[in-house]
Structure 1
Amino acid sequence: MYTAFMTTPERLIEATQELLWERGYVGTSPKAIQQAAGAGQGSMYHHFAGKPDLALAAIRRTAEQLRAAAEASLGSGGPARARIEAYLLREREVLRGCPLGRLTMDPEVMASEELRAPVDETIDWLRGRLAGIIQEGLDSGELVGPLDPVEVAATIVATVQGGYVLSRAAGSPAAFDTAVRGLLALLSPRPA
């Protein structure tokens, strides 16, 4: 997890990212963060004003990483459907769920405009990015309508997030895979 070259703030942020994903904000204590990062209380409070400040840095980092992973598929060029398929089929830790989606279930994150902002911004970015690709597919004739790009983008995001939930509930990634295959079938051109 950590390398010898990581600074204390980097170790604290990375440990917080993992703990937020695993336990959520409420279940992540400063002591757990310090233990996971191998940092003392003084180090944590030297670099961050407190748990909310450190959590915000970790949530922002997670959001950046998720955007980069999505963009690697969505920005790869090529046909719209192929880019959406690459995004949907990319490697994921399905049984762990989405690290940002997990935070939407945390009442303290949702109650804090500051902590919630990177989550909202990332989901909005993803929906907008997907809607743009769907519009490209419609414009080129690759995707056939009537499709509303905004609605289809919201459906893609909902399918991914719902797939995580169903897979976690079942203890198997099969539910995620089934949802993705079903969505891709709906995006396939229909024979005339």
Structure 2
Amino acid sequence: METTPDRLIESTRELLWERGYVGTSPKAIQQRSGVGQGSMYHHFSGKPELALAAVRRTAEQMRETAERELALPGTAVERVSRYLRRERDVLRGCPIGRLTQDPEVVTSPQLRAPLDETFEWLRGRLADVLAEGQARGEIAPGLDTGDIAATLVAVLQGGYVLARAAGTAAPFDQAVSGALALLAQRA
């Protein structure tokens, strides 16, 4: 059974993804969660604290999802491909990436920190997988795995933006396919 704080956090996560920080009012959180004002303020001092808990949970879930895909057996390219091609709601965008476009979030060091930490973790984790593949001869030896990892994260985030602008997942899929084709080159 979901606790009251969990309902509040989950509702805030959804609202932040849909509406951004400014559009996520305490009243909207209460309506979505079915939790009254008194209970909300019993568990959280206000919207900033609740938003931070929601952003942290979103970041944590994103890392868990990525790790599940990247930790499975296979070559480095297979593991990275599995992660990049996993099922996602492309037209909704990345819940972490979308928050980086929210002025209220990026001007708050507390709210921005989990975003930066998540992207830093993802770049590092991808670089580790790529370095393993490079050591096994699966990836060209001259490539900088840190640079390639940063490129893959940029392809994902840019793919979301292009897909949302086009109203179709096709640009996202094309960007991922292109990045994987380049990664598969062993020259």
- TM-score between both structures, scaled by the size of structure 1: 0.95
Which of the numbers 141, 145, 150 marks the counterpart of 1:149?
Answer: 145
- Are 2:4 and 1:43 equivalent residues in the alignment? no
Structure 2 unaligned blocks of 5 or more: none
Once superposed, what is the RMSD of the aligned Cα atoms? Answer: 1.0
> Once the 2 structures are TM-superposed, how far is the Cα of residue 177 of structure 1 from its aligned partner?
0.4
Deviations 1:136-165 (A, max 9, x none): 111111111321111100000000000000
The equivalent position to 1:29 in structure 2, one of 25, 28, 43, is: 25
* Aligned equivalent of 2:75: 79
Q: Does 1:9 align with 2:5?
A: yes
Q: What code does the residue aligned with 1:64 have?
A: E
* Number of the residue aligned with 1:178: 174
| 1:189 Cα deviation after fit | 3.0
Name the SS for the 1:183 alignment partner: helix
The equivalent of 2:123 in structure 1 is 127
Q: Does the residue aligned with 2:100 lie in a helix, a strand or coil?
A: helix
Tell me the equivalent position of 1:60: 56
CA distance in 2, matches of 1:24, 1:85: 30
Deviation track 1:54-91 (CA, whole Å, cap 9, x = no partner) reads 00110111011100110011111221111000000001
The one-letter code of the counterpart of 2:123 is R
2:66 maps to: 70
Q: Which runs of 5+ in 1 are unaligned?
A: none
Q: Using the TM superposition, give the Cα deviation of residue 27 of structure 1 relative to its aligned residue in structure 2, in angstroms.
A: 1.3
Where does structure 1 differ by over 3 angstroms across 4 or more consecutive aligned residues? none
- Match of 2:82, SS state, is helix
Query: What amino acid does structure 2 have at the position aligned with 1:118?
Result: P
Normalising by the residue count of structure 2, what TM-score does the alignment of the two structures yield? 0.97
User: What SS is found at the alignment partner of 1:121?
Assistant: helix
Q: 2:48, 2:183 → 1: CA distance? A: 41
Give the deviation of 1:107 after TM superposition: 1.1
- Seq. identity, %: 66
Post-superposition CA distance 1:83-120 (Å, at most 9, x none) = 00000000100000000001100111111111111111
The CA distance in 1 between the partners of 2:165 and 2:38, in whole Å, is: 39
Amino acid of the residue matched to residue 55 of structure 2?
I
| Distance in 2 of aligned mates of 1:69 and 1:122 | 12
Report how many aligned residue pairs link the two structures: 187
